[in-house]
Amino acid sequence: MRLPGWASLALSSLVISNCLSAEVRPRYGGTLTIELSTVWNKLDPGGVNSALSVPITETLVRVTSNGEVEPVLALAWQHDPDFKRWRFSLRPNATFHDGEALTAATAAPSLLAALKPKYGEVSIEAGGQAIVVQADREMPGLLEELALPRSAIFRRSDANPLIGTGPFRITAWEPGRRLNVAAFDNYWGGRPFLDAIEIEFGSGHGRADLFDIPLGPARRILPEGLATWSSAPRTLLAITSTNTDVMLLQALALVVDRAPIANVLAQHKAETAFGLLPQWLSGYAFLFDSTPDVVRAKQLVSALRSGPISLSYPANDLFLRSVAERIALNGRDAGITIQPTTAGNANLRLVEWPLESSDAADELSRIALELGAADRTGQMDPAKPETLYQLERSLLDDHRIIPLLHLRQTYAIAPRVHFQPSSSGTFALHLEDAWIQP
Amino acid sequence: MSFRTKIFLSITGTVVLAVWIVAAVVSTLVTQSFERRDAQRTASLVNQLQREFDRRGKDVARRVEAVADSDVVQRLAVNLVGQAAGGQFDASQSFTEAQTLAQEQSLDFLELVGPDAAIISSAEWPARFGYKEDWLAQPVDWKAQGVFLKKEDLADGSALGLITVRSVTAGDKTVYVAGGQRLDKEFLDSLPATDGVRLQLYRNFEPLASPEILGSKLAADLVQDVRQQPRELTRVNDAATITAIPLRGRDKQLLAILLIENSRAELASLKRYIQGTAGAAGGGCVLLGLLLSFWTASRVTRPLRDLAGSVREVAVGKWDTRANVGSSDEVGQLARDFNGMTEQLVEQRDRMIQAERVAAWRELARRLAHELKNPLFPLQITIENLQRSRDSSPAEFDEVFRESTTTLLAELGHLKTIVGRFSDFAKMPTPQLEPVDMNQLAREVIQLFEAQLQAPGRSRVETKLNLASDAGEVPADPEQLRRALRNLVLNALDAMPQGGTLSIRTARHDGKVALEVSDTGEGLTPEECDRLFTPYYTTKQHGTGLGLAIVQSVVSDHKGTISVHSEPNKGTTFRIELKASA
């Protein structure tokens, strides 16, 4: 689908002014070092919520920043009128990192595994470079689904956990510690600028060419000259509950002041969230905006006579702990006693739900599924944004979830690192576009 | 209780009392000494704590002053001025400053507060940024205010802090720096330690001051009392002395109570030691006292016991007994005096016996003279009459001779009777014992006197026999007993010349048989009763004074007793008691 929020996405994203400058010509060579505070234990495509895109695998198609679908591994495609049968023609000159050619037969297994969870019984016919996907149900959003990282085409072997067709191939992989990739010389799109990329996990030295800036109240003094890049909001931070009085949750939603949390605790690396999807994704998020109403919240609480309730947050997450404490403080203004805790059996939970795609309907469906309201997704027509709004409104009116923030991911980038302008926007930072100035 | 026992108990009691008094006095003195030392130590500790509080307060003030003088706070104030001038103040840039500064200055509490009293940054509760601290907006000279106690609200409850405030002014904007240190168990633990002293802090905003939390009921009660009426209080029990000091905030509100618990374990230990030592020493002294008092009592009372033994010997008639004079003290003198007294008594007794013998002989002589003189006088007159008749009336001499010889024979017979009586008394034979029925004996004796009692011209004497059927027999010489009873009956009849009632009663009790002979005569005086059994004593005109003496002799020879009871004008009763036959 074409996303109406892409315009706002462009505005809301920060621009890497010096990195994306075209004044210097790109150069080949060099190793990019990366430090990440997060830890990757597995290398499943789509299994990591990171705005940092390490292009080891590729999908058949991709969605550009203006919402258009571009060919990647699939050069062309057709579908029948009722979107039940799709035919893709694969790129003839693409090969996997181990030298095996990309064919319909080699692509079919991973494609089938990616589509089954969403479309159920799907059959794939592979012949030469042509691959046919057929299902009993309509698949109008198949292209957007195939553009998701989880639909990437890859293979595994004993020696290599992830063999893709992307511009970088894995040279070393130590789960939870480091990932090294090198330029894939036989990449169908041409060799990338960088010779190699070395990623160290769980490190916070700040000595690498590129490192992430975790969310949290601790303000980090960056070395002079470093640029920062922030992704579009790609994680929903919310309070969920299944066993708390609805009126109490309503009161809490009214009394929580999101702006200080976004501006101070998240250090501007987040946007206040009153809806489930960010503005750039849905385009109608502003319709949910509201201001704290302590008086109304007090009225609701006074009718309840509720005791203390607990709010859990993940242990060792200082940012979420500070958010929980702030919410407890806000709740106290309305007479709600909230005890932040790391225990799992709390009344309320502070959750982070990453957005996996730039498909609003798809993300909303996933949230509805998490909230136990999957049956309502049938009322949604991706072509009609108002149906998305109605679904989101109904989910919010259930008062089982209180959206708080939409979080960005922010990275610091050394001055010698440059990025070629990308067509994929600010949803991810594409390392295949990076080059290093000597 | 013997004299020795009394002395023994007295000495023992004295020793025990003395030991107890010494132990009590020592214990009291030690306790008082400890109380004074306890009070001094508590006062010293309070002063020390006060100094430590002052020192900590100055330290807190210095640290907060350093924060206020830091570039961060100065820059913050300048930024606030810039914000007022239309610039943008980004709270996110200052959000963590308080935590950093608090860490640098080792402060538990630190808040940077803007001119509008809104928290810019809080170290103790970071999430509280943006909230108001209205108490800081008051027009107060915070530097002059110094350090004060304050209840600090935290995310997980409340805490007590030593707080001070400094203000930093840039332009017309003021940034308040409120910081301090937590006043809690760790703070108390960091104070200079004193052995035996425990510090506790009860924070008045805590829900309960239970004995379990405070360690003792005494502490809990003390806290309750101070909460009700805040003042310094001290309470004592066996385990500890606890002083409660109320700690107040700026507004004089009671925020906490500092409990200084001074252990009395040392005192209790010393008291136990003293009591144990006193007990052991007392026990030893008591034991020693027992032995000493036993020995002393024995030593002191031995001469007395010897003397008492001598007295008993004398009492049973051993007049030659002499007390042992073993010492020259009072007891020895007493023994000497006793010996002197017994010697004198023996001499007096001998003299008395001699005198009595003389008196008896004199009485005997008098009686004999009296008894013999009466017949001799008629003999003399008769003989003289014969002589005169032969000389003056020879014709009638024969007649006179016959008459005179008759008289002479009669009087000589009288003399013979008198001599016989005396002879009988002198020759009282040894009783030949055989069972004698006392009732039968009484009847026989009365029967002997029947004729005499019924003789014409004699005043009527009524006889009454009141004989107990169970009187039984006694081992006695029947002749002597009959003679004694006859004498008593004769005595009774002589006592009733005008007639009366003669009663004879027998009875048995306690293994004895009693026989009483009563008359209704004029009775006897007590003096007469005392001398009644003395030989040759009589109250009658013609008595020999041997009748009752014979009776007493017979009764005495039968191992019996005789007593007399007499009332003037009512009569006299003689009572003989003899041991009954088995």
CATH code of the domain in which B107 resides = 3.30.450.20
pLDDT in tens, A386-400: 899 999 999 999 888
pLDDT at A12 over 80: no
My answer on whether B393 and B416 are in the same domain is yes
Q: What is the 3-state secondary structure (H, E, C) of B275-299?
A: HHHHHHHHHHHHHHHHHHHHHHHHH
Determine whether the interchain pair B126/A217 forms a contact, defined as Cβ–Cβ distance below 8 Å.
yes
Rounded to an integer, the average pLDDT of A235-253 is 89
Phi, psi of B203 (to 5 degrees): -90, 130
pLDDT in tens, A88-139: 999 999 999 999 999 999 999 999 999 988 888 899 999 889 999 999 888 8
A160 assigned to some structural domain: no
Instruction: State the residue range of the domain holding B97.
Output: 69-186
Residue A11 has what pLDDT?
34
pLDDT in tens, B516-542: 999 999 888 888 888 788 776 777 766
Q: Which residue has the higher pLDDT, B416 or A22?
A: B416
My answer on whether B345 and B466 are in the same domain is no
My answer on whether B534 and B443 are in the same domain is yes
Q: A263 contacts in B (CB within 8 Å)?
A: 90-92
The answer to whether B378 and B407 have CB atoms below 8 angstroms apart is yes
Work out the number of other CB atoms within 10 angstroms of the CB of residue B344: 10
My answer on whether A327 and A421 are in the same domain is no
A341 assigned to some structural domain: yes
Q: What is the 3-state secondary structure (H, E, C) of chain A?
A: CCCCCHHHHHHHCCCCCCCCCCCCCCCCCCEEEEEECCCCCCCCCCCCCCCEECCCCECCEEECCCCCEEECCEEEEEECCCCCEEEEEECCCCECCCCCECCHHHHHHHHHHHHHHHHCCEEEEEECCEEEEEECCCCCCHHHHHHCHHHCECECCCCCCCECCCCEEEEEEECCCEEEEEECCCCCCCCCCCCEEEEEECCCCCCCCEEEECCCCCCCCCCCCCEEEECCCCEEEEEECCCCCHHHHHHHHHHCCHHHHHHHHCCCCEEECCCCCCHHHHCCHHHHCCCCCHHHHHHHHHCCCCCCEEEECCCCCHHHHHHHHHHHHHHHHCCCCEEEECCCCCCEEEEEEECCCCCHHHHHHHHHHHCCCHHHHHHCCCCCHHHHHHHHHHHHHCCCEEEEEEECCEEEECCCEEECCCCCCCCCEEHHHEEECC
A386-390, B214-218, B445-449, B472-476: lowest mean pLDDT where? Answer: B214-218
Residue A161 has what pLDDT?
87
A90 assigned to some structural domain: yes
Question: In the numeric block, which tokens belong to residue A358?
Answer: 């730039």
CATH at residue A109: 3.90.76.10
SS3 content of chain B, % helix, strand, coil (to 5): 55, 20, 25
My answer on whether A203 and A129 are in the same domain is no
CATH at residue B535: 3.30.565.10
Work out the number of other CB atoms within 10 angstroms of the CB of residue B465: 13
My answer on whether A322 and A416 are in the same domain is no
My answer on whether B478 and B386 are in the same domain is no
Q: What does the alpha-carbon distance between residue B451 and residue B430 come to, in Å, rounded to a whole number?
A: 31
Instruction: Give the model's confidence band at A217: pLDDT under 50 very low, under 70 low, under 90 confident, else very high.
Output: low
B228 assigned to some structural domain: no
Helical spans, DSSP H, in B427-559: 438-448, 450-453, 478-495, 526-531, 547-557
My answer on whether B380 and B437 are in the same domain is no
A146 assigned to some structural domain: yes
Residue B541 has what pLDDT?
64
Under 8 Å CB pairs connecting chains A and B tally to: 40
Average pLDDT in chain B: 84
Which of A263, A267, A329 is opposite residue B128, by nearest beta carbon?
A329
Q: A325 contacts in B (CB within 8 Å)?
A: 125-127, 155
Domain boundary, last residue among B154, B169, B186: B186
Q: What does the alpha-carbon distance between residue B164 and residue B152 come to, in Å, rounded to a whole number?
A: 12
My answer on whether B116 and B173 are in the same domain is yes
Q: Which residues of B touch A (CB under 8 A)?
A: 90-93, 95-96, 125-131, 155
A413-427, B167-181, B240-254: lowest mean pLDDT where? Answer: A413-427
Q: A326 contacts in B (CB within 8 Å)?
A: 127
Question: What is the percent of chain A where pLDDT is above 70?
Answer: 91
Question: How far, CA to CA in Å, does B443 sit from each of B437, B489, B513, B574?
Answer: 10, 12, 16, 17
- Which uninterrupted H or E stretch holds B113? strand B109-113
Average pLDDT in chain A: 85
B7 assigned to some structural domain: no
B266 assigned to some structural domain: no
My answer on whether B439 and B515 are in the same domain is yes
pLDDT in tens, B475-529: 999 888 988 898 899 889 888 888 899 999 999 988 999 999 999 998 888 888 8
A1 assigned to some structural domain: no
Residue A9 has what pLDDT?
38
A281 assigned to some structural domain: yes
Q: A329 contacts in B (CB within 8 Å)?
A: 125, 127-128, 131, 155
Domain boundary, last residue among A129, A154, A179: A154
Which of B92, B96, B128 is opposite residue A263, by nearest beta carbon?
B92
Residue A6 has what pLDDT?
36
My answer on whether A194 and A240 are in the same domain is no
My answer on whether B345 and B409 are in the same domain is yes
Give the distance from residue B37's alpha carbon to the nearest chain A alpha carbon, in angstroms: 49
A338 touches chain B (CB under 8 A): no
Residue A8 has what pLDDT?
35
My answer on whether A296 and A205 are in the same domain is no
Residue B87 has what pLDDT?
57
My answer on whether A268 and A355 are in the same domain is yes
* Residue numbers of A between 215 and 274 with CB closer than 8 Å to B: 217-219, 257, 260, 263-265, 267-268
Q: Is this structure's pTM higher than 0.80? A: no
- The dihedral over CA atoms of B547, B553, B555, B561, expressed in degrees to the nearest 10, equals 100
My answer on whether B553 and B437 are in the same domain is yes
My answer on whether A118 and A138 are in the same domain is yes
| Nearest-10 crossing angle of helices B330-392, B265-315 | 20
Instruction: Give the model's confidence band at A3: pLDDT under 50 very low, under 70 low, under 90 confident, else very high.
Output: very low
My answer on whether B468 and B487 are in the same domain is yes
Determine whether the interchain pair B95/A217 forms a contact, defined as Cβ–Cβ distance below 8 Å.
yes
Q: B130 contacts in A (CB within 8 Å)?
A: 257, 260, 264
Q: What does the alpha-carbon distance between residue A344 and residue A312 come to, in Å, rounded to a whole number?
A: 7
Residue B377 burial by CB count (10 A; 0-12/13-18/19+): exposed, middle or buried?
exposed
- Total domains present in chain B: 3
A165-179, B144-158, B275-289, B392-406: lowest mean pLDDT where? Answer: B275-289
Rounded to an integer, the average pLDDT of B170-189 is 84
Domain boundary, last residue among B186, B210, B232: B186
Residue A351, Cα to own-chain centre: how many angstroms? 15
CATH at residue A207: 3.40.190.10
Closest residue on chain B to A265 (Cα)? B92
Residue A7 has what pLDDT?
34
pLDDT in tens, B309-366: 888 888 887 888 888 887 788 878 888 888 888 888 888 888 887 887 787 777 677 7
pLDDT in tens, A288-300: 988 999 999 999 9
Q: A interface mutation test: which of B96, B103, B124, B128 has the most A CBs within 10 A?
A: B96
My answer on whether A298 and A333 are in the same domain is yes
Q: What does the alpha-carbon distance between residue B50 and residue B214 come to, in Å, rounded to a whole number?
A: 22
Q: What is the DSSP letter of B430?
A: P
Domain boundary, last residue among B380, B395, B425: B425
Rounded to an integer, the average pLDDT of B281-285 is 77
Residue with tokens 């979107």: A83
CATH at residue A398: 3.10.105.10
A329 touches chain B (CB under 8 A): yes
Residue A270 burial by CB count (10 A; 0-12/13-18/19+): exposed, middle or buried?
buried
Please name the residues in contact with A318: beta carbons below 8 A apart, sequence gap of 6 or more. Answer: A216, A217, A218
Question: In the numeric block, which tokens belong to residue A88?
Answer: 């893709």
ipTM for this prediction: 0.75
Q: What does the alpha-carbon distance between residue B66 and residue B75 come to, in Å, rounded to a whole number?
A: 14
Which of B92, B125, B155 is opposite residue A264, by nearest beta carbon?
B92
Residue A163 forms beta bridges with which residues?
A: A155
My answer on whether A403 and A266 are in the same domain is yes
Question: How far, CA to CA in Å, does A14 sit from each of A8, A354, A411?
Answer: 12, 20, 11
Instruction: State the residue range of the domain holding A345.
Output: 235-407
Domain boundary, last residue among A123, A154, A185: A154
Long-range contacts, stretch B40-47, CB < 8 angstroms, 24+ apart: B41/B194, B41/B197, B41/B262, B42/B234, B42/B241, B42/B243, B42/B260, B42/B262, B45/B194, B45/B197, B45/B260, B45/B262, B46/B243, B46/B245, B46/B260
Closest residue on chain B to A319 (Cα)? B127
A326 touches chain B (CB under 8 A): yes
Work out the number of other CB atoms within 10 angstroms of the CB of residue B334: 15
Q: What does the alpha-carbon distance between residue A316 and residue B225 come to, in Å, rounded to a whole number?
A: 45
Give the distance from residue A219's alpha carbon to the nearest chain B alpha carbon, in angstroms: 7
Q: B128 contacts in A (CB within 8 Å)?
A: 329
A3 assigned to some structural domain: no
Determine whether the interchain pair B155/A267 forms a contact, defined as Cβ–Cβ distance below 8 Å.
no
Which of B92, B128, B131 is opposite residue A268, by nearest beta carbon?
B92
My answer on whether B368 and B450 are in the same domain is no
A109 assigned to some structural domain: yes
B368 assigned to some structural domain: yes
- Find, among A399, A333, A330, A386, the residue nearest to A360 by Cα: A386
- Total domains present in chain A: 3
B340 assigned to some structural domain: yes
Please name the residues in contact with B515: beta carbons below 8 A apart, sequence gap of 6 or more. Answer: B438, B442, B485, B504, B505, B506, B575, B576, B577, B578
Question: In the numeric block, which tokens belong to residue B298?
Answer: 């024995």
Residue A270, Cα to own-chain centre: how many angstroms? 14
Residue B46 has what pLDDT?
79
- Rounded to a whole number of angstroms, the CA Rg of chain B reads 61
